[in-house]
Amino acid sequence: MKNKWLFVFCLIFVFSPLRSGAQEVFDYLIPAPMPLPLAPELPEPLPRQFRGLSLGLNLDDLQTALTQDYLFHFRGPRDVSFLPIMEQTLVETTGSSFIRRAHFQLDNEIVYIMSFTLDTRLIDHFSVFTAFVRRYGEPLILNPREAVWESYETRVSIERPLTVKYIDRVVFDRLIGESRELDNWQMTRREDFLADF
């Protein structure tokens, strides 16, 4: 019985200082420093160009710029196609180094979408995203599929796995509006046709 009480006394004696000391340690925790934000206080305006290629270029100037840039393997008219359904032109070319492929969509022979698919073996999503944040601020939309920056006239996105896309919002919004009008008109014609029965 004596050994039992001695054991209990030892337990109380040994563990009680540790318990009170542990509380003191937690009372004096130093908070970790807050990470500095990457975004600048005054972000730059969103870009409408990449190297010598920009939104608003006409087809001839686009072809000249692609021919002169060593990052693209532009083959001339073979890389240009006309989309009859949308009455638009598509220029698609392969790239070298960091760029795997590039697509340019033109309406009335004016570039309104530029899309660059990058080689993920040479550059990673985080590096491109960080470079954009440092220059243009935090994205307006951020989700697992894409990061999006927007201004009144430009939309720039980084899409996974790694595509950087530039869109002329004024032209794009106009085309979306025209498409909706066409859809509404077709729906009205359908309803009129069904009413004839």
Residues 30-54 have a mean pLDDT of 79
* Structure confidence at residue 34 as a pLDDT band (50, 70, 90): low
Residues 47, 151 contacting (CB under 8 angstroms):
no
- Residue 115 reports pLDDT greater than 80: yes
Q: Give the DSSP letter string of 24-58.
A: HHHHTPPPPPPPPPSS-SSPPPPPSEETTEETT-B
| CA separation for the pair 122, 106 (Å, rounded) | 29
- Residue 187 reports pLDDT greater than 80: no
* Structure confidence at residue 151 as a pLDDT band (50, 70, 90): very high
pLDDT digits (tens, 9 = 90+) for 57-66: 999 999 999 9
pLDDT digits (tens, 9 = 90+) for 65-102: 999 999 999 888 888 887 766 678 899 999 988 999 99
Residue 97 is predicted with a pLDDT of: 86
| CA separation for the pair 146, 162 (Å, rounded) | 9
Closest by CA to 101, choosing from 120, 129, 81, is 120
The mean predicted confidence, pLDDT, of the chain is: 81
- The more confidently predicted of residues 163 and 83 is 163
pLDDT digits (tens, 9 = 90+) for 71-80: 999 888 888 8
Residue 81 is predicted with a pLDDT of: 84
* Structure confidence at residue 180 as a pLDDT band (50, 70, 90): low
Burial class (CB in 10 A: 0-12, 13-18, 19+), 105: buried
Residue 47 is predicted with a pLDDT of: 93
Task: Examine residue 161 and say whether the peptide bond preceding it is cis (omega within 30 degrees of 0).
Answer: yes
Residue 121 is predicted with a pLDDT of: 93
Residue 83 is predicted with a pLDDT of: 73
